[in-house]
A and B are shown apart, each in its own frame.
Chain A
């Protein structure tokens, strides 16, 4: 892997749960509970997991949109975890985000051109004709026509709106783009268009993606490496091909087995896990997955497995077979 652009070490984000008239703290949501990973230049790291696993909180913490409880975030070697708003500002240019819902993330009263041009204007990089020209170029890059700059968000389809969001993220020439479920609100045929656009843009500009999604197929398609999260922790991380060919954590195996395959002759649905994801307010002791795991042993209830290397950078957090996962 090339030099790390982003390094996250032991990131934690806990939210207090308050109740009663005195708003006393009655519990803690362990949204993110000790997450570490590195992301290289030009690389795409996919972050998958089910709702409530903390993947979006990781994304927002990386961008300092939520303040982490503890841990460290390094961008280009510099620790940005505790920078003030002003000190953070120059770094904001190098990190951008594309959200899930292109309907909620665009100001309905601004024209598409103004939305895309705003970050450039805010950072004082261009004005007037030059600004217009830059915005027009961005529109072309994401497959929109420059004459659509005068239109308002409601005049665009869902896929086109997501293109506007991508153009806005590109405006400042970022090095890292966090994509938080960027295609899950789109139709299948449009989804493919946006995924292709994201891949093409990365090839041209060489930036990195932290790509968050619940859809394993989408993540498998766009990522170089994939991390699987469960209840606030990474349970497995590996190169994409390795992870999908050789999943070691029982949770990853269950996730993969749950995806309905678009082939009527292939294996029928076989749910490998029962029950629901436990609440992150009082996560299970030991390995958080032990309550649903087919292979759970006594030790799993008390010992929390660390993420260990099982060879070739394939890391897994499971006590099975001396920490190599391997359920089958």
Chain B
């Protein structure tokens, strides 16, 4: 296993809950994972599985109320972020840990020039002159391959296309050379040709700068093409974790298996026209009324009595391939 000092992020037993009118729900329940320098960890799952709340928890940006981090630790380069006060956290956020969001238009300030927004982020953390910061801003825009960076720096967000805006967001997030970058569905709002450009860019920069990357996505194709390790989340919990090769070769959790079977593939050559897809019956359960046992049991073909009664522990099936399923051993044979 890797050297301890190589760990950029070490999350242990993270628990984030929301207090709502319809009751308390555990958006993130007992989640542990780590990210090494230069490593890409993908978190996949469907809406409501807790992947975005996980990202917000790492950034300490969970809206409180109604949400609150109630347990666990988030160690970034050895410092527990959950123990910092707000002023200390502000010094870390955007500096050692930064985030890019899905919708660049809503995350950029519409009445501020692109360059000035990067300057602001840089000068918040470094004591340098405005002129030096301006130089860094242009350099960052060049780094994310925006043509004519000096001119673009003087433009406003509405003057840029969607792909350009996401590049500007990345430039801003990386301006202080963070140890960890969190990308929450960074390409979901983009067209597929632009998505390919942006993903390639993120990976190139990550390699160049040695940043740890947590990539949150619902797209298994994106996971396969970018990540080294993958966490699959369902109803607030980690149900499976493995290296990307192991996960795609032999998923251990029936949910992961179901997800993989339900995505249509390009090209569908050879397959008969309009072959039916495998579907997972039912819908994601409400987090307020989670079943007592495994949350996936009501939709699972393999569910047995035990699944409804007891939540399965995360067990190691070899080589760090974790899965929380009572019948993980049989998953490969059945289905």
Contact = CB atoms under 8 A, between A and B. Distances in A.
Contacts, number: 152
B163 interface: yes
Interface residues of B, number: 50
B283 A259 contact: no
A177 B77 CA distance: 55
Interface in B181-210: 191-197, 199-200, 203
Interface in B58-80: none
B266 A189 contact: no
A220 B268 contact: yes
B248 A221 contact: no
> Which residue among A218, A258, A260, A265 has the maximum number of chain B CB atoms within 10 Å of its CB?
A260
Given A189-B258, A199-B274, A258 B193 contact: yes
A196 B225 contact: no
A156 B277 CA distance: 23
A91 to B, nearest CB: 27
Contacts of B279: 189, 192-193, 196
Interface in A245-280: 245, 254-266, 268-274, 276-277
A270 B225 CA distance: 10
Contacts of A312: none
Given A189-B262, A224-B273, A276-B161, A262 B191 contact: no
B326 to A, nearest CB: 21
A272 B195 CA distance: 12
Interface in A206-239: 214, 216-218, 220-222, 224
Contact of A221 (B163, B191, B219, B264): B264
Interface string B216-242: 001111111110000000000000000
A190 B283 contact: yes
B106 interface: no
Nearest to B161: A276
Contacts of B334: none
A191 interface: yes
Contact of A220 (B203, B248, B266): B266
Contacts of B161: 276-277
Interface in B260-277: 260, 262-269, 273-277
Contacts of B274: 44, 199, 202, 221-222, 224
B35 interface: no
Contacts of A218: 264
Contact of A256 (B203, B221, B258, B267): B267
B89 interface: no
Interface in B136-189: 161-164
10 contacts: A157-B283, A187-B284, A190-B46, A192-B278, A196-B276, A199-B276, A221-B277, A264-B245, A269-B225, A276-B164
Given A260-B196, A265-B245, 15 more contacts: A187-B47, A187-B284, A188-B263, A189-B279, A193-B280, A195-B264, A218-B264, A221-B274, A221-B277, A240-B268, A259-B266, A260-B199, A260-B221, A264-B244, A277-B191
Nearest 5 A/B pairs, CB to CB = A244-B267, A260-B221, A192-B262, A221-B264, A50-B191
